[in-house]
Amino acid sequence: MPVESGSSAAARQAKQKRKSHSLSIRRTNSTEQDRSGLQRDMVEGQDSKLPLSLRSNLLDLFSQIEREFENLYIENLELRREIETLNDRLTAEGQTFEGADLAKGALKTKASHSTSQLSQKLKTTYKASTSKIVSSFKATTSRAVCQLVREYVGHRDGIWDLSVTRTQPVVLGTASADHSAMLWSIETGKCLLKYMGHQGSVNSIKFHPTEQMALTASGDQTAHIWRYMVQLPTPQPVADISQTPCEDDVDFSDKDEADGEVEGPNDCPSIRMATTTLRSHQGVVIAADWLVGGKQVVTASWDRAANLYDVETSELVHSLTGHDQELTHCCTHPTQRLVVTSSRDTTFRLWDFRDPSIHSVNVFQGHTDTVTSAVFTVGDNVVSGSDDRTVKVWDLKNMRSPIATIRTDSAVNRISVSVNQKIIALPHDNRQVRLFDMSGVRLARLPRSNRQGHRRMVCCSAWCEENNTCNLFTCGFDRQAIGWNINIPVLLQEK
């Protein structure tokens, strides 16, 4: 009988291994084929409006996900077996050392120490793998409460700007791309008056500090001053809207809702003639504001200039030039004759009119993109926002560098600062509104979902210190303004 050599035996074993491997591959392929065939049968047997090819692709993707989970499950089982084996080994070593004499006490200590090390390592791994999930559900104390109180709907196009009157009766004003400005009852959400004197988009609205007069800037290259008289309707009880903690990490929905035609208020009285028309700009007038006292106004235009006018005579007092590109915003100090202008040239300028004989100007280059707005606070600070996704807080006494910098994930539009609480409201291009304190600490984010909040870019924010129901207003290109009740705990502000 012939004897098989060692080399031939090894070759035969290798051949058998390859054969068994190929059989397993064919078995796996046949299993996958059976599974895909079963999926096709399921696709054909189910009643669905989706195309057959799309349904097949979806089922294939789900099958791949299922296989990934199966592999993870198998790996998990293997790791568990290895852990149990290590635990058994360490336990056995500990028992052996336990019955030994005192000379082997050091070995017992070492074994128990390695057991505790393994146990600690397992705990650390488990905590690390679950920390992200647990942090999503972790409750926080003293959170800011942001409550959506009322929506102001009636414009037929996006709302660029909004403002609250500084005298009684306290009403909300909005400036829209639909060529109109509206005055609203804050308590009821009813339109009280509609100004229709402009021939272009109304880009800004500001109220006189002591009289019932409004200042609007428009794309028709003019600014209008017009008087208003409104009678507030009887306040209605506010709907019981549950208080919602301001969102920090979760955005419920990024779904865009379809914009339907919004019917404007039919019973709203209107004004079509301005008391005073300010002309001299050669481009879009993007913003306007009253100087302290209300006897002069300043306008900012895309013609790269800001103009100072006398209200009584409508005459141009000064033309403030120096910006290299279009202006985006202008703001006046509440108690001093100071003006700050913002521009697409990445700078903002501080104009000083406190001395009638000397008009000084300071240029600040703190941003890398368009400065969308710069506003004064009641104190000696200026807050600037930019398309470079940053907001910076400056000290008027030393503006060489900002005292605080806020970095965000989206371009910042027209910001506002609360007088009493000194909270900065940041409206973003990504439909979010965030609240920060003056030191740059984030306090809250207003809730936004497919049921509440803005559905388009948020253009502007404005605080109202005199109203207990709504103390913050926002507007956006979803054609609505929203009134919020913001409650920031004192402990949260002091963190």
Condensed to tens digits (0 to 9), the pLDDT of residues 456-489 reads: 999 999 999 776 678 899 999 999 999 999 988 7
CATH code for position 375? 2.130.10.10
- pLDDT reading at 451 higher than 80: no
- pLDDT reading at 312 higher than 90: yes
Domain assignment present for 263: no
63 near 35, Cβ under 8 Å? yes
Beta strands in 334-413 (DSSP E): 338-343, 348-355, 358-364, 371-376, 381-386, 390-395, 404-407
The structure tokens listed for 216 are 């609007």
| Model confidence band, residue 38 (pLDDT cutoffs 50, 70, 90) | low
Give the model's pLDDT for residue 356: 77
475 near 142, Cβ under 8 Å? no
- Overall domain count for the chain: 1
Tell me how far apart the alpha carbons of residues 402 and 398 are, in angstroms, rounded to a whole number.
9
Domain assignment present for 480: yes
Domain assignment present for 115: no
Domain assignment present for 247: no
The structure tokens listed for 357 are 């004989």
Tell me how far apart the alpha carbons of residues 431 and 437 are, in angstroms, rounded to a whole number.
20
The range of the structural domain enclosing residue 402 comes to 145-229+268-492
Domain assignment present for 181: yes
The structure tokens listed for 152 are 């102001």
Tens digits of residue pLDDT in 182-227: 999 999 999 999 999 999 999 999 999 999 999 999 999 999 999 9
- To the nearest 10 degrees (0 to 180), the angle between helices 6-45 and 52-98 is 130
Tell me how far apart the alpha carbons of residues 73 and 441 are, in angstroms, rounded to a whole number.
43
Task: Tell me the sheet residues that pair with 371.
Answer: 386
Nearest to 462 by CA among 417, 406, 411: 417
144 near 487, Cβ under 8 Å? yes
Give the model's pLDDT for residue 117: 56
For the chain, percent of residues with pLDDT exceeding 90? 53
pTM, entire model: 0.69
162 near 151, Cβ under 8 Å? no
Domain assignment present for 342: yes
- pLDDT reading at 256 higher than 90: no
- pLDDT reading at 11 higher than 80: no
Tell me how far apart the alpha carbons of residues 361 and 395 are, in angstroms, rounded to a whole number.
16
Beta-carbon count within 10 A of 455 CB:
22
| Model confidence band, residue 303 (pLDDT cutoffs 50, 70, 90) | very high
Nearest to 277 by CA among 288, 269, 261, 291: 288
267 torsion bin: left (phi>0), alpha (psi -120 to 50), beta (else): alpha
Give the model's pLDDT for residue 82: 87
Helix (H, G, I), strand (E, B) or coil at 384: strand
Give the model's pLDDT for residue 419: 85
Q: Are strands 270-271 and 191-195 parallel, antiparallel or unpaired?
A: parallel
Q: Is the dihedral of CA 366, 369, 370, 374 positive or negative?
A: negative
Beta-carbon count within 10 A of 280 CB:
18
Mean pLDDT of 77-105: 67
- pLDDT reading at 354 higher than 90: no
| Model confidence band, residue 371 (pLDDT cutoffs 50, 70, 90) | very high
CA atoms within 13 A on the CB side of 175: 31
Domain assignment present for 44: no
197 torsion bin: left (phi>0), alpha (psi -120 to 50), beta (else): alpha
Give the model's pLDDT for residue 414: 97
